[in-house]
Copies of this chain bind each other. A is one copy, B any other.
Amino acid sequence: MSKPVSTAAPILLDGAWRPSVGTATFSACNPATGQPTTGLFPISPWSECERMIAAAERAFVELQEHPRGSIATFLDDFAARIEAHRDRLVAAAHEETALPVAPRLADVELPRTTGQLRLAAEAARTGSWSRPTIDTRQNIRSCLQPIGPVCVFGPNNFPFAFGSVSGGDFAAAIAAGNPVIGKANSSHPATTRIFAELAAEAVAAAGLPRATVQLVYRVDHEDGLRLVGDRRIGATAYTGSRAAGLRLKQAADAAGRPIYLELSSVNPVVILPGALAERSATLAEEYVGSVLMGTGQFCTNPGLVLLLDDAAGRAWIADVAGRFRQAAPGTLLSPAVRTTLGESVAVLRGAGGRVLAGGEAVAGPRCAFANTLLEISAAEFLRNPEAFQTEAFGNSALVVLAAGVDEMRQVVESLEGSLTGCICSSRESDRDEAAYEIVAAPLVRRVGRLLNDKMPTGVAVSPAMNHGGPFPATGHPGFTAVGIPASLCRFAKLTCFDAVRQSRLPAVLRDANATPRTWRLVDGAWTTADLGGPADN
Q: 18 new A-B pairs (CB below 8 Å) besides A135-B465, A145-B444, A477-B493? A: A61-B441, A64-B441, A138-B464, A147-B478, A256-B417, A256-B471, A256-B472, A436-B504, A440-B504, A447-B495, A448-B493, A448-B494, A448-B495, A449-B496, A450-B500, A452-B498, A463-B521, A468-B494
Chain A 422-476 interface residues, beta-carbon cutoff 8 Å to B: 436, 440-441, 444-445, 447-454, 456, 460, 462-466, 468-472, 475-476
Interface centre among A255, A447, A469, A496 (most CB of B within 10 A): A496
Interface window among A246-254, A264-272, A290-298: A246-254
Say whether B449 contacts A495, CB under 8 Å: yes
The CA of A486 and the CA of B440, in the complex, are separated in Å by 28
Say whether B478 contacts A489, CB under 8 Å: yes
Say whether B257 contacts A463, CB under 8 Å: no
Say whether B134 contacts A464, CB under 8 Å: yes
Mask for A126-152, Cβ within 8 A of B = 1, else 0?
000000011100101110110110000
Nearest chain B CB to A89's CB is how many angstroms away? 27
Q: CB-CB < 8 A to A78: which residues of B?
A: none
Q: CB-CB < 8 A to A108: which residues of B?
A: none
CB-based nearest B residue for A491: B478
Interface centre among A249, A440, A445, A480 (most CB of B within 10 A): A445
Which of B148, B464, B475, B527 is A496 in contact with, Cβ under 8 Å? B464
Residue A316 is within 8 A (CB to CB) of chain B in the complex: no
Nearest chain B CB to A391's CB is how many angstroms away? 16
Interface centre among A142, A256, A463 (most CB of B within 10 A): A256
Say whether A465 contacts B140, CB under 8 Å: yes
The CA of A61 and the CA of B441, in the complex, are separated in Å by 8
CB-based nearest B residue for A469: B493
Nearest chain B CB to A526's CB is how many angstroms away? 3
Say whether A453 contacts B499, CB under 8 Å: yes
CB-based nearest B residue for A255: B471
Chain A 237-282 interface residues, beta-carbon cutoff 8 Å to B: 249-250, 253-258
Nearest chain B CB to A237's CB is how many angstroms away? 14
Say whether B135 contacts A464, CB under 8 Å: yes
Say whether A462 contacts B504, CB under 8 Å: no
Say whether B61 contacts A496, CB under 8 Å: no
Q: Supply 27 A–B pairs (Cβ within 8 Å), ascending by A.
A: A61-B441, A135-B462, A140-B464, A142-B465, A142-B466, A145-B444, A148-B445, A249-B253, A250-B253, A256-B470, A257-B471, A258-B476, A445-B493, A448-B496, A450-B495, A452-B498, A452-B499, A452-B501, A453-B499, A463-B524, A466-B496, A468-B494, A477-B493, A477-B494, A480-B494, A519-B526, A526-B526
The CA of A137 and the CA of B483, in the complex, are separated in Å by 15
Q: CB-CB < 8 A to A250: which residues of B?
A: 253-254
